[in-house]
Structure 1
Amino acid sequence: MSLNKVILIGNVGKDPDVRYFDSGAAVANFPLATSERGYTLANGTVVPERTDWHNIVVRRDQVNFVEKWVKKGSLVQVEGKIRNRSYDDQNGVKRYVTEIHADRVEFFSLGSGSRPAEGQQAAASTSPSQGNTSSYQQPNVSQASSITETSDADDLPF
């Protein structure tokens, strides 16, 4: 297993931006908010809730699913790899970006009694190992983990 593999569960911050290229390839990008609950320490110190933002990049078979079904506010599980890159902005300043390149995107359910919102169908997801087969898999909450990066965003836009 690769050390940079992550599973994130969070809410989509805005509708995905999907771009198509002349080659027929497509890429989708969207921000994902993950939150860590606040808590109170034994000494009474209150630690507030913390929300981190992640840049999600989706390619290949997952783009069609994301374009059709994923919307702002959707609760999704993203499995992928952490990628870091840099570029020079218009002023020649080097900028660094951390992205999650998704291998799999699917709706997340908070228990067996939950159903997708009215008008939404169960998630059809594919991964490179599955080819074009569609299936719904409900993730096991006890096995899911959340790895977060630092971000300046403190509030959710939805």
Structure 2
Amino acid sequence: MINRVILVGRLTRDPELRYTPSGVAVANFTLAVNRPFTNQEGEREADFIQVIAWRKLGENVAEYLKKGRLAGVDGRLQTRSYEKNGRRVYVTEVVAESVQFLEPKGARTSEQAPNESPINDDPFADGGDPFASGDPI
């Protein structure tokens, strides 16, 4: 069986870091992922996907990712349910196995002042080869 999810999107809020009673770190955040098409008004819609990151990965996410930052998540889909006020509540979420921070630390976010200049993180901007590092593809 295969259960694999790969997402790229922007955080809708700062990650929330908590610890289980046994001391295991867990971070929760939501990614807004654009759909690949526009609606009838010509606007792009997005899906808001809940993500969970456990242990050191969760601590790193909580420390380095903030609202509006671009992130890539590789993980698995998980469904669970619980009882609330006599009703069964179902939750679908992505359990992250890795999270990539896709913008440099100083990159412009939606919360920066409009007169601040954005950092150009286009690897092709100076004509350089982004694959010249020798890293395998």
TM-score (normalised: structure 1): 0.61
Query: RMSD of aligned C-alpha atoms?
Result: 2.6
1:69 and 2:64 equivalent? yes
CA distance in 2, matches of 1:80, 1:98: 13
Equivalent AA in structure 2 for residue 107 of structure 1:
F
Equivalent AA in structure 2 for residue 118 of structure 1:
G
Deviating 4+ runs (over 3 angstroms): 37-40, 45-48
Aligned residue in 1 for 2:75: 80
Equivalent AA in structure 1 for residue 12 of structure 2:
G
Which structure ranks higher in relative contact order (CA pairs < 8 Å, sequence separation ≥ 6)?
Answer: 1
Unaligned regions of 5+ residues in structure 2, if any?
Answer: 109-134
1:118 and 2:106 equivalent? yes
Instruction: Quote how far apart the aligned CAs of 1:19 are.
Output: 0.5
CA distance in 2, matches of 1:18, 1:8: 21
Contact 2:17 2:59 in 1 (8 A): no
Structure 2 CA distance for partners of 1:119 and 1:21, relative to 1, 3 Å: same
Aligned residue in 2 for 1:15: 14
Equivalent AA in structure 1 for residue 74 of structure 2:
E
Match of 2:88 among 90, 94, 112: 94
**1:82-115 residue CA offsets vs partner (Å, 9 max, x unmatched):** 00011111x2111110010000011125xxxxxx
Instruction: Quote how far apart the aligned CAs of 1:37 are.
Output: 4.1
Unaligned regions of 5+ residues in structure 1, if any?
Answer: 110-115, 121-137, 141-158
CA distance in 1, matches of 2:47, 2:56: 27
CA distance in 2, matches of 1:65, 1:26: 10
Equivalent AA in structure 2 for residue 34 of structure 1:
V
Q: Alignment length, in residue pairs?
A: 110
The share of aligned pairs that are identical, in percent, is: 36
3-state SS of 2:63 partner: helix
1:105 and 2:90 equivalent? no
CA distance in 2, matches of 1:105, 1:16: 13
Structure 2 CA distance for partners of 1:39 and 1:14, relative to 1, 3 Å: closer
Instruction: Quote how far apart the aligned CAs of 1:46 are.
Output: 6.0
3-state SS of 2:53 partner: strand
Aligned residue in 2 for 1:154: none
Instruction: Quote how far apart the aligned CAs of 1:38 are.
Output: 3.6
Structure 2 CA distance for partners of 1:104 and 1:17, relative to 1, 3 Å: same
Q: Which has the higher strand share?
A: 2
TM-score (normalised: structure 2): 0.70
